[in-house]
Structure 1
Amino acid sequence: MTTRLAWPDLTGRPRPMADATFAYGDAPLQRVDLWCPAGAGPHPVVVMVHGGCWQSDIADRRLMDWVAADLRDHGIAVWNIDYRGVDRTGGGYPGTFCDVAAAADALRLHGAGLDLTRIVAVGHSAGGHLALWLAARPRLPVDSPLRADDPLPIAHVVSLGGLPDLEAVAASPDNGCGTEVIARLVDPGRADPFADTSVPRLSPLGVPQDLVNGREDRIVPYRFATDHVARATAAGDAARLHTVADTGHVELIAPETPAWATARRLIAAALRHTLP
């Protein structure tokens, strides 16, 4: 049995540095870090989305620095995006979603040396929801203000302890994000606030999905993963659950853990990339 990790066990480590930072807007959080492997490329690329219960006071893109560096060391580029959470001016609906979309689409402007023909989205916790939502953008209702004519195509999603079903989160007091944050995220005053925000409403996504979840995760209840895989599969999507024993929430993004080794393997396989 391994020792459970707490957040300071991850964030207290020496922090690796990204290769470049790009702005996609004027707000301080409208930024993306590029982690690029050595060599000429073209390098396979991951669009990475951090969690933090959709709240910037809890986490920003820097929470993913250690796994971003690990992927870079294994020959995979990372486009690590940030966005305004519901606790920031301009965040919530539609701002948080617009930020995530704009940050992903900005990859096209700064993708020299990267292989943009097959992009995998990877998200942790609330970022798992947003990574899946990025893949679902072509399925957005035609009247949604979040809809775009030419969204960045996502070929595969790897969700790490994700929260795909916002309606389930809003009805589940046992989740680590609480229930009130969802109202701030989706704007409950709209006729159907989940129609363009909650992943199951947009299924089938038409994109393969791998969910990596810790069996002992106390922040994201395990049923969120089993329920999503069952619904996605029933809708016709290729969705697989990879359960990691003796694993909580922090271990999913700590580079030395079995959970991250599973995620790295799945990412490489989706990118058809041979790990060194």
Structure 2
Amino acid sequence: MTRLATTTLSLIGALVLAAAPPAFAQAAKAPPTALSYGSDAAQQLDFWRATGKTPAPLVLFVHGGGWKRGDKDSATGRYKVEHYTGEGYAFASVNYRLVPAATVEQQAQDVADALAALLKRADALGIARGKVVLMGHSAGAHLVALVGTDPRYLQKAGLSYADVRGVIPIDGAAYDIPSQMADAGRMMAKTYQQAFGTDPARQRALSPTAQAAAPNAPAFLLLHVQRDDGVRQAEDLEAALRKAGTPVERQGFPGRGLPGHMQINREMGNPDYAATGVVDRWLARAFS
């Protein structure tokens, strides 16, 4: 498959996930607690308490959708809430403001602000301070990786990397924005230009790979399927994190193009899906 075809499928996958029908929504046993973390209608999140002992570590999930679409209700996947709360973790799924009404910088700040809002209520919600992992898929993978490599977003929210144990980007393909834009076809070029503009300095500032010099979040787990651009971008981010001395693991899983991109998010948390066990073991170490 050519880079152009693979990149086009990357966007299509993000858009399909963003428009996923309610059947993909979580079938949680208990309804979530809905919280606002800002004045904009999009600055909302859903929170589920851990099953069992509290205070509990927190997994915060950020949806994909090409930075311009997506929703916490349709893009979280079927299994995550029940699985991670059942593992003894609190779980939150975050909405953020979307391009073009907001900038990617504001989206990354929304992720940090959502975490700050949760930690401000940590005692009431049963969250263990200092035990947080950021997880995101597709465009959400880019956003959590950016927050995990550029400390300014957490600092502006009154937090630091001491508040985070790790970051799990899932099948992102935009960790090095200039490189990805250079490979983009016409369909992707418009989306990337809308999100990241034409200024090389801004594109670099929004590239986790370019921001990966220390300090970074304490640890990373990079997950991907077998999409050429996704593999290449994950490998380059891994190399940049290793160069900075940041602990990082990278795991690839079967799946190509749109179906693979969808599957790794949709099946995460399914005990029968291989990536679930990888994440479970990594979380157990990160939260120990």
Considering the TM-score relative to the shorter chain, is it more than 0.5?
yes
2:181 paired with 1:170: yes
Once residues 100 and 269 of structure 1 are traced to their aligned partners in structure 2, the CA distance between those partners, rounded to angstroms, is 24
Shift in alpha-carbon separation, 1:245–1:93, aligned structure 2, 3 A: closer
Point out 4+ residue stretches in structure 1 off by more than 3 angstroms. 5-11, 186-189
Shift in alpha-carbon separation, 1:237–1:39, aligned structure 2, 3 A: closer
Shift in alpha-carbon separation, 1:235–1:159, aligned structure 2, 3 A: same
Look up the SS of the partner of 1:33 in the other structure: strand
How far apart are residue 161 of structure 1 and its match?
A: 0.6
2:208 paired residue number: 199
1:79 paired residue number: 92
1:64 paired residue number: 76
Once residues 68 and 96 of structure 1 are traced to their aligned partners in structure 2, the CA distance between those partners, rounded to angstroms, is 23
Shift in alpha-carbon separation, 1:149–1:110, aligned structure 2, 3 A: closer
Deviation readout 1:215-260 (Å, 9 max, x if unpaired): 2x47x53211122212222233222211113461122121332223
**What TM-score, normalized by structure 1, do the two folds share?**
0.80
Amino acid at match of 2:54: G
Q: Any conservation in 2 of the 1:85–1:96 contact (CA below 8 Å)?
A: yes
Once residues 45 and 14 of structure 1 are traced to their aligned partners in structure 2, the CA distance between those partners, rounded to angstroms, is 20
Once residues 68 and 178 of structure 1 are traced to their aligned partners in structure 2, the CA distance between those partners, rounded to angstroms, is 31
2:164 paired with 1:154: yes
Unaligned runs of 5+ in 1: none
Mean Cα displacement is larger for which, 35-44 or 116-125?
35-44
**What TM-score, normalized by structure 2, do the two folds share?**
0.77
Q: Please state which structure has a larger fraction of its residues in helix.
A: 2
How far apart are residue 130 of structure 1 and its match?
A: 0.9
- Counterpart among 123, 130, 143 of residue 136 in structure 2: 123
Amino acid at match of 2:171: G
Q: Any conservation in 1 of the 2:25–2:77 contact (CA below 8 Å)?
A: no
How far apart are residue 110 of structure 1 and its match?
A: 2.3
How far apart are residue 16 of structure 1 and its match?
A: 2.1
Aligned-CA RMSD value: 2.9
1:48 paired residue number: 61
Shift in alpha-carbon separation, 1:196–1:234, aligned structure 2, 3 A: same
Unaligned runs of 5+ in 2: 1-12
How far apart are residue 109 of structure 1 and its match?
A: 2.0
- Counterpart among 96, 108, 133 of residue 146 in structure 2: 133
Look up the SS of the partner of 2:140 in the other structure: helix
2:258 paired with 1:268: no
Amino acid at match of 1:28: A
Report % sequence identity.
22
Look up the SS of the partner of 1:79 in the other structure: strand
